[in-house]
Amino acid sequence: MAEPTYEVAWDPWYSESPSAGMVAWWRFDEGTGATAADETGDNDGTITDGAWEAGYLPGFALTFNGVSTLVNCGSDASIDDLPLADFTFSFLFRPDALVDWRPIVSKNTFSICVMANGRLRVRADFAVANALYYTSPGDLVVGEWAMWDVTFLVATKTWRICKNGVECTYSGTTAGNGAYTTDAGDDLIWGNVGAGFTAMAVDDAQIVTSALSVADCMEKWNLIKHVTSDVKLVTIEYGKNSKLPFDLVKAQTGRCSLIVNNFSSKWCPEFTTSPLYPYVKPNKPFRIRATWLGTVYDLFEGKLTSDLPRPFVDEQMATLSLLDGMDYLARAKVNIPLQEAQLSGVIKGALLDSAGWHAAKRVIDTGVDTFDLYYTQDDPYCLDSLRELDDAELDFTYVDRSGNLAAEDRHHRLAAPHIVSQGTFTTVLDLTGMDYDYGIESVRNEIACPVTPHVLQASANIWELVDVNASYSPADVPYLGAGETKTFWAKFSNFAKNVSNPLTRFTGLPQQATDEVRANSAANNSGADHSGAGDLGVAVVVFSDGAMISLINLTAATIYITLLRIWGQLYSDENKTTIKKSDTTSQDRYDIRTMDIAGGEFRASAEVALQLVLYILSIRKDPQPEIDNVQLIGDTNVHLTQVLARTVSDRITIQSTELGINGDYFINKVKLDIPIGGVNPVATWTVAKADSEEYWTLGVSTLGESTRLCY
């Protein structure tokens, strides 16, 4: 049986700054939107009809449909008339079709094109003779990623073209002669010129104002190429370690361990002669994939941890530790506006936006329950807030094997494709291991759930920085110098709604109770008023429990802020209560085992809380015979496909004549052990029973003996 083709990719350039002499750097890593940003800041591209896909490097690449896609990067002076000096244009590129004269990138009198026979054509126009080079037929391969370095040598007006660090042989060469035909003012365009559009994908592109040598190009390729050949063993874990359906156990941060060949101290961070120096740093992205029988399987996407390999220079192996995006969310603080009457999917999207999570790396269910109120207080961590929502409506949030934030509501597994088993596994023919127990450690026989009916108070002054009176000295009063901007952070005593935005300006004596901002030329408010929009710019961003106020002095003199406050309506949460239920029979048998259900600050209905408590108590008060883990070795084509394909929330059938088991289970956690180089990979799945559908909801599942009617 053939071995899958594995791919271990990393991005050493991630979070690095443009190097000296770099005049353009398009990472093509946005993944969404219509802008291809230039890291140097001068040559952002406007995308027309582009699409995004996984790139050669971890992250994204921009794909061009060959019909209408282009990227116009404008005509900044930094990229005008490049052939007047040495320069190198480097790009990671995949042709998806080969048609004569179709441009990869062009700037009127300078162009790089594909040819139908697989040659790369590079041209710069000069008065007497154009500098025109063709590589050999077959150098371009449809569907193949390669790094191309196209270097112009101004002294000889010739080109040097390298593919993956190796200089190409040429099927035609002409040196330039005469003056370069200027392209100043002409737009640099990816994917289109008068000859037509190009079907292709571009991942990363750079322009430097120097002539890279062949050795430089090989060094760069050795840095960014896939490191699969270094890897000897891959271990991956993601999901949650729970054997119960709809359990409140949280997903773990996904982890991946790579055992890599450290020959010549390649992966030693401090070893200056390593070809990877100085790029072995925390937070570098990695992606692991497998290709088997024509299908590509994402296996893991994460970033290098701060626990860097520290092998001695003569050690032959090193360990790289990776964590998925749950690690980032555990450290990212969030603050969002008050959410009223919103489903959990909307709220989770707002939390991820606040955390800076990539818009193209999330798969969020709509949600089941509408939350009357949701708020953030005291800048919580994003992961904590997501888990509060999970607790409140029995959701499941984790990072999947493609690096997406996956937020599954409690109906997720009751819809296609999860209602049909994706494979049947027996202890006789398939499974090589099974852990089976009676589940005493999961017993919970006293369940408590808090409830918070919030009461909206009357409109009032809910925050105040200053309100000047005659006793104030200038030292007590905030001021803005000419043209200065200052930001003030308001913190409310509780979360609020109907917060004033924009702030009401002072409009003349006497001061009104509703006035919220006032500026004056004198600190004691006795001078000229500057509260008007022509003198004072005001911008307010409102959060659940506070606001950010930015004030801009639009005058040419110092002004004092003699009034700054906010009006709104605070919510009172003084009527908190806790719904608690216990099962004395279970407590007599198994001792008291308690569980507190979180998320009570967003739960206003005591009836809903009671049903949730009764549901949890019904499935946790007694031990249940449980399968813990099952193990499958990829020793046949069928088994190997299942090892690579199955992921969290997939439904499988497990049969064991010896244990009397024949039922469907959901995968809650995946662990993969993949020796690269001829040894069969192994999947270990933590599973939960799927056939009981214990949480019943009208119109979604059937009401049976083991189910409980809930809201």
Q: Look up the CATH superfamily of 329-410.
A: Baseplate protein-like domains (3.55.50.10)
User: What is the per-residue pLDDT for 312?
Assistant: 64
| Residue 278 near residue 291, CB atoms below 8 Å | no
Q: Is 51 helix (H, G, I), strand (E, B) or coil?
A: strand
For 353-411, the pLDDT digits (tens) are: 999 999 999 999 999 888 888 988 888 999 999 998 988 888 899 999 999 999 999 88
User: What is the per-residue pLDDT for 625?
Assistant: 67
Residue scoring higher pLDDT (244 or 558): 558
Mean pLDDT is lowest, of 60-74, 99-113, 594-608, 633-647, for 594-608
Helix axes 344-355, 382-393, angle to 10 degrees: 170
β 661-675/651-656 pair status: antiparallel
Tell me how long the chain is.
711
557: which residues sit within 8 A by CB, 6+ positions away?
482, 521
pLDDT band at 702 (very low <50, low <70, confident <90, very high): very low
Q: Is 92 helix (H, G, I), strand (E, B) or coil?
A: strand
**Distance (Å, whole) CA 31 – CA 650:** 27
Residue scoring higher pLDDT (515 or 648): 648
Mean pLDDT is lowest, of 51-60, 182-191, 569-578, for 569-578
Q: Would you say residue 43 has pLDDT above 50?
A: yes
* Pair of tokens at residue 689: 């029973």
User: In DSSP terms, which residues pair with 529 in a beta bridge?
Assistant: 520
pLDDT band at 708 (very low <50, low <70, confident <90, very high): very low
Percent of the chain scored above 70 by pLDDT?
94
β 405-408/396-399 pair status: antiparallel
For 444-454, the pLDDT digits (tens) are: 999 998 888 88
User: What is the per-residue pLDDT for 707?
Assistant: 47
Options 3.30.1490.190, 3.30.420.40, 3.40.50.300, 2.60.120.200; CATH for 22-209 is 2.60.120.200
Nearest to 158 by CA among 144, 170, 173, 148: 173
pLDDT band at 113 (very low <50, low <70, confident <90, very high): very high
**628-650: average pLDDT:** 94
- The single-letter code of the amino acid at 181 is T
Residue scoring higher pLDDT (402 or 616): 402
β 594-596/446-451 pair status: parallel
Q: Would you say residue 696 has pLDDT above 70?
A: no
User: What is the per-residue pLDDT for 247?
Assistant: 56
| Residue 476 near residue 465, CB atoms below 8 Å | no
Percent of the chain scored above 90 by pLDDT?
68
For 335-347, the pLDDT digits (tens) are: 999 998 899 999 9
Average pLDDT in the chain: 90
User: What is the per-residue pLDDT for 598?
Assistant: 76
**Distance (Å, whole) CA 49 – CA 64:** 8
CA dihedral 133, 138, 143, 146 (to 10 degrees): -50
User: What is the per-residue pLDDT for 491?
Assistant: 92
694: which residues sit within 8 A by CB, 6+ positions away?
245, 246, 615, 618, 619, 706, 707, 708
Residue scoring higher pLDDT (434 or 407): 407
Residue scoring higher pLDDT (430 or 426): 426
Q: Would you say residue 438 has pLDDT above 80?
A: no
User: What is the per-residue pLDDT for 373?
Assistant: 87
Query: ∠605-607-613 over CA atoms, to 5°?
Result: 105
* Pair of tokens at residue 460: 């009032």
Highest mean pLDDT among 194-203, 309-318, 359-368: 359-368
| Residue 30 near residue 36, CB atoms below 8 Å | yes
User: In DSSP terms, which residues pair with 530 in a beta bridge?
Assistant: none
270: which residues sit within 8 A by CB, 6+ positions away?
none
pTM for the structure as a whole: 0.87
Mean pLDDT is lowest, of 96-105, 294-303, 624-633, for 624-633
Boundaries of every domain in the chain: 22-209, 329-410, 442-454+574-620, 456-572
User: What is the per-residue pLDDT for 706?
Assistant: 43
Q: What b-and-e string marks burial along 165-195, b requiring 16 or more CB atoms within 10 Å of the CB? A: bebbebeeebebeeebbebeebbbbbbbbee
Q: Is the fold of 22-209 the same as that of 329-410?
A: no
Give how far the C-alpha of residue 400 lies from the chain's centroid of Cα atoms, to the nearest Å: 11
User: What is the per-residue pLDDT for 698?
Assistant: 40
Q: Is 83 helix (H, G, I), strand (E, B) or coil?
A: helix
Nearest to 333 by CA among 376, 394, 299, 295: 376
Give start and end residues of each alpha helix (H) in 375-422: 382-393
**Distance (Å, whole) CA 635 – CA 652:** 19
**Distance (Å, whole) CA 24 – CA 87:** 11
User: What is the per-residue pLDDT for 470?
Assistant: 59
Mean pLDDT is lowest, of 134-143, 306-315, 575-584, 612-621, for 306-315
pLDDT band at 22 (very low <50, low <70, confident <90, very high): very high
pLDDT band at 243 (very low <50, low <70, confident <90, very high): low
For 457-503, the pLDDT digits (tens) are: 999 999 998 888 656 677 789 999 999 999 999 999 888 889 988 89
Q: Would you say residue 70 has pLDDT above 50?
A: yes
Q: Would you say residue 92 has pLDDT above 90?
A: yes
